Amino acid sequence: MKFSVCLSTGFEGVMYPIPFAGPEDFIRQARRCEELGYHSVWGNDHITTQNYVRDLFPGRPPNFYDPLIVLAAIAGATRTIKIGTAITVLPMHDPVYLAKQAITLDQMSGGRFIMAVGLGAYREEFEAWAGNRFQNPRRGDMMDEGLEAMHRLFNEAKASYDGKYYSYKDVEMFPKSIAQPFPVYIGGHNVEAMERAVKYGQGWLPGWQPLPVMEDRIATLKRRLVEAGRDLAGFEIAPQLSCTVDQTMELAEKRYMESGLVAHRVSLAYTGRDLSHQVTANLVGSPEVILQKIEKLRSIGVQHVSALMFPANSVAELDEQIEWFAKEVMAKLPKD
């Protein structure tokens, strides 16, 4: 089982107070995660304030950092830890330049980069970015086109693509990535996301779900991979969960429910997830409780608890949670 941390490149206001961490914190935390034995550090992708965050923090826009640039700096300051995006909002990026950036980051990091892509959580953020460049765009169609466009660039010597949203002709994109095939993970937990993962992904990065739902979807995904002739050994199931560690289950739940992450969950209620399960379905609890949850995740097929989100009210508290999880949870797991 692998574990990794999502840094606060785009979490101000969404999960953390404003202001929160800055460039020096990203580098320091990544180095510490490398020392503590985490598999990777990840960054999330936002460009402008969400509507509910404006209501919570009037007149105080959050600081959002480009995750690819942050991860490039981290790659230069570390040696072994992998780096990833959780997630890159694919419909808000040109696939040709995004593919070039991804391959360059792979090359500059010695093959340590993983890129998870998804639709993005907030429609209003997409609309702010899109302006009037599209007429009635459908993000799912943009996602499908972007994945196909990048797949060709990653794998073909000379690639062309002509779609509704994206088009390019005879692009020779070299060098290719060190990591082969280039590790694209697909974010999202609905059926469409799973099908995209089967067709294009080397991993699946859903959000949290009640464990029976997660178990059912993992079984469905594995069946679809087999039906598509995919090698299960080359595919990683890597859900992104949140984590709050404390001395007792009661203290951990109290800390979690008082955090800014809960308002973020409420803002995403349109996804249909039952928020009454958010404590039991995430890694919230004492170290002993969390170890039990991890064993259950392992038993249903989870291989990597990726881009863990640690709600906190200060950088010091975030640092403490990262340390606590590594020393009291990761260190007590059996070695594979």
Q: What is the DSSP string of 184-241?
A: EEEE--SHHHHHHHHHH-SEEE-----HHHHHHHHHHHHHHHHHTT--GGG-EE--EE
User: Token pair for residue 51?
Assistant: 């509507």
**38 Cβ contact list (under 8 Å, min separation 6):** 3, 4, 5, 81, 326, 330
User: Token pair for residue 120?
Assistant: 């993005």
**254 alpha carbon, distance to own chain's centre:** 25
- Side-chain-side CA neighbours of residue 315 (13 Å): 15
CB atoms within 10 A of CB 227: 9
Number of domains comprising the chain: 1
87: CATH? 3.20.20.30
- Beta strand extents in the chain (DSSP E only): 2-6, 40-43, 82-89, 113-118, 159-162, 167-171, 184-187, 203-205, 236-237, 240-245, 283-285, 304-309
Q: How far is the C-alpha of 44 from the C-alpha of 236, rounded, in Å?
A: 19
- Tokens 């007792």 map to which residue? 248
- Report which of 40, 34, 31, 18 is spatially closest to residue 203, judged by C-alpha positions: 40
- Report which of 140, 138, 131, 160 is spatially closest to residue 47, judged by C-alpha positions: 131
- Domain residues for the domain of 229 are 2-332
- Greatest distance between any 2 Cα atoms in the chain: 59
pLDDT at 336: 62
Beta bridge partners of 264: none
pLDDT at 335: 76
Instruction: Going from the first residue of the chain to its last (336 residues), give the mean pLDDT of each consecutive group of 10, the final group possibly shorter.
Output: 97 96 97 98 97 95 98 98 98 98 98 97 94 94 98 98 98 98 95 97 96 96 97 96 98 96 86 87 98 98 98 97 98 85
Q: How far is the C-alpha of 277 from the C-alpha of 140, rounded, in Å?
A: 27
CB 43 within 8 Å of CB 331? no
